[in-house]
Structure 1
Amino acid sequence: MSTRTLARRAALAGVGLTAAFALAACGGDHSTDGGHGGHGGAPAGAVSAGGSAAAADSADVMFAQMMIPHHQQAVRMSELAGSRADDPEVKQLAERIRAAQAPEIATMTGWLTAWGRPVPSGSPAGGQPPGMDHGMPGMMSDADLVRLEGAAGREFDRQFLTMMIAHHEGAITMAREELADGRDAGARAMAQQIVTSQQSEIDLMRRILARR
């Protein structure tokens, strides 16, 4: 296992322990019934794709806890394209990203609820979520997002594509670590889907950049 992975898990373990104590103090029910958690939950069908506490290991939990804020940032970036992008293909791609990743956020939220593990909440729109200062590959900084929010037209397209390529590459890195270390069937299936779909989107974004 890589040093980067160990550092990332150590950072996440501290966050998970703190959040677990907080949840216990609130008297929350962490049963694995696949029900609705305090963060919106996920459709019952989505939880059925994973969510077995017996099957999940620490890699599966880390994958979901880190990929949720990672996806949230991608969705936010994609939403900006609706009013700022110039290229119709960029707008279509942004909507494709949003439509794919928003349901995955709900699914992973459902898994964590079923596993009785903390669901990331209160993450900033940019940068690393609180307590996760290490190992969130591809995440944009606050300054990156401010710059993207202030752009429009062709300049927005260029920044969006450049940032989203890096963002997707980070997601693929995390997904491959889940495939190497995770054991939950649903989490592994999602990780493989992320690798396949986001690599395809990276290829498309590079082609769009090349013609601009």
Structure 2
Amino acid sequence: MQHASDTLFAFSELRLARHIGIANGLKGRLPSDLPILTSPTNAKTFKAIGTEHESTCFGFGKMAIDDLDILTLRLQLGGTQIYWLADVTDAEVWQALDKWLKRQVVPYAFEVVNGLGRSKTVAFGKAHISSEAPKTNLLRGRTSTNTLEEGWDKMIDLAASGIVQLQATTDIPRIPLSQVLVHILVTEQYKGSAQAKLVRRGTVLTTAASAGASGIH
């Protein structure tokens, strides 16, 4: 299945439940200070993803463009895989990872973007962290010679290249990928770059290139 769109990626943020209007519904189910991975999308894409999945998986990995290491977070819901690209040196990202590792769970929320450019949260879920999670410590403490602007431009280049979709492989045995979504994780230090250079867009569904064995990628 493949759908055409004017972009290969979308912007995403780490947000708290109260910031996306779901705090009351999650009372007692989620600590109020636990960051939620958001996935902005349109109604058509969300319908294709669905809300009920017997198999889910969350994993970590690393990609590189030129001399910049990029941390990848990926969630698989059935045949849909969602990537978040993040700056491996970003302290805000590591703070979120530490909180997720402590709870052994990663919360996520889909936000449907309407025609007015606003978002509405329509679905929330939690994924257990895979046994690969401790391997992320191999990336902890990395430094970069790139300025924030250079790092941002390189993440944009990677997200827009289609490479992430082409190299994606399933993390769930016997369930091939049918679509891959890519997000750039916009933390506080990158919000100025996101607002100045690109408008917020919806994600595109793309056909996965392969359905290989699970692993860090």
TM-score norm. by structure 1 comes to 0.29
Kindly indicate whether structure 1 or structure 2 has the higher relative contact order, using CA contacts under 8 Å at least 6 residues apart.
2
Higher strand residue share:
2
Higher helix residue share:
1
Larger Rg: 1
